[in-house]
Amino acid sequence: MGGDDDPLSLPGYKGVALKVLKESGVQAGDLIRISRDGTVYEGVLMPRSEYGDDRHIVIKLKSGYNIGVRVTADTLVEKVGAGVEIAFKPPPPPKQRPNLPRVSIVSTGGTIASRVDYRTGAVRPAISAGDLYSIVPELSDIAVIETEVLFNLFSEDLTPSHWARIAEKVAERIREGVDGVVLTHGTDTMAYTAAALSFALQGLPVPVVLVGAQRSEDRPSSDAALNLIGAVSAAAEAPFAEVVVAMHETVSDVSVAFHRGTKVRKCHTSRRDAFKSVNVKPIARLADGELVMLTEDYRRRDRDRELTLKPNFDPKVALVKFYPGMNPNVIDFYVEEGYRGIVLEGTGLGHVGRSCFPSIKKAIKRGLIVAMASQCIWGRVNMNVYTNGRDLLAMGVIPLEDMLAETALVKLMWALGEADSPEEAKILLKTNIAGEIAARSIYT
């Protein structure tokens, strides 16, 4: 976060403004005096957005207003008082009630673990699982909570190796005997991690619930508290033992939906009900403190079931979206780079233009697994209807039924990471492992 050359003490500053501040030995949060052209300004030095210009110093005046002072050749900056450390102090954690179920909350980062410091305007990216527990004291009425920070990353910075580490951590907690695990996670790639855990954690005895927030927990419109209460409730006592995503069911602050980890997608950039189950219904919902199952088709909680951990993902798999006029060299590139699999996000029932056929043939001949999901999102691939689909099938492209393209990508990485041969990986890809292929698709 911050510009190219700004030190941590002067977030967002660059160019001449950074030079003047550095020479004056001040840092964000300090009370400073700026003298320029005979005028004096006094206030707290604010961090800047990394997209701001390099000519202004921003201070918060005593009145509470922020102003930008343009730096000129004769601008003088002095420190008047030391800054107060930009820190969030959570209230003490609530008292635990030992007879309740045991839930482990593991934090990985994202908006749910962020705070805005209103004195300086800086977003503080780190509030731990422990802080969250203190901020939402209702959680202590639901479960005995253990908290742990695994990473503190925005989810767009996670990679398949992070999925493996998350899976290992969750398995560790389950083997220690917790009744459920909650993972706080950024929402952007939460569905990918949910799919990854659905494949990596086989024979789950208890629920694993991913939860995030579209607005950080210190904003009045935050969805963090309700989502977290829903997630912990499900981890503590839901009858299902699956990997699910728990997020607002609607825009109102009244209910939480639980989506199967292989069938969920972030469908809106900012709404609180951004997550939707695709081609299936959510598996459960929680409203007014009551958790209601919405399907009979789920794995039951069973403490005695033995968990099998399969955490290997081969990152040499690409997701390629076809579009009119696409350059087929994109496919050749992955072949040359030594990739082992390609998921094509085709049009409609599962097509790409004929101009891509030679490259796809070559990829399959070189031993890559090439599979087809649809960019339609809802519905099912059917490559028998049109000639182009049939020709692709004849080449050996594997149709992926109603699997989401993102889930298909994760699954092929996992299949190639776990299988001993490409043939075995192909069989895994086509087998329904964690509800990723529904027998019947419903339009929700």
We find the least distance from the C-beta atom of residue 216 to ligand ASP, in angstroms, to be: 9
Q: Which residues are catalytic?
A: 111, 187-188, 266
We find the least distance from the C-beta atom of residue 224 to ligand ASP, in angstroms, to be: 10
Which CB sits closer to ligand ASP, 273 or 418?
273
Calculate the alpha carbon distances from 340 to 106, 162, 362, 416 in Å.
32, 20, 13, 8
Q: What proportions of the chain, in percent to the nearest 5, are helix, strand and coil?
A: 25, 25, 50
Angle at 147 between CA 141 and CA 151, to 5 degrees: 140
We find the least distance from the C-beta atom of residue 214 to ligand ASP, in angstroms, to be: 6
Residue 33 token pair? 């005096």
Residue nearest to ligand ASP (CB): 186
Which CB sits closer to ligand ASP, 111 or 233?
111
Q: Find, among 242, 236, 231, the residue nearest to 307 by Cα.
A: 242
Which CB sits closer to ligand ASP, 156 or 304?
156
Residue 226 token pair? 């309700």
Identify whether the C-beta of residue 33 lies closer than 8 Å to the C-beta of residue 42.
Answer: yes
How far apart (Å, rounded) are the C-alpha atoms in residues 131 and 92? 9
Chain contacts with ligand ASP (rule: CB under 6 A): 110-111, 154-156, 186-188, 212, 214
We find the least distance from the C-beta atom of residue 31 to ligand ASP, in angstroms, to be: 33
Which CB sits closer to ligand ASP, 211 or 284?
211
We find the least distance from the C-beta atom of residue 159 to ligand ASP, in angstroms, to be: 13
Which CB sits closer to ligand ASP, 131 or 314?
131
Cα-only R_g, the chain: 26
Q: Find, among 148, 278, 442, 375, the residue nearest to 257 by Cα.
A: 278
Which CB sits closer to ligand ASP, 113 or 278?
113
Identify whether the C-beta of residue 143 lies closer than 8 Å to the C-beta of residue 96.
Answer: no
In 187-329, beta strands by DSSP E = 201-202, 208-211, 243-248, 255-260, 264-266, 275-277, 284-287, 290-293, 308-309, 317-321
We find the least distance from the C-beta atom of residue 111 to ligand ASP, in angstroms, to be: 3
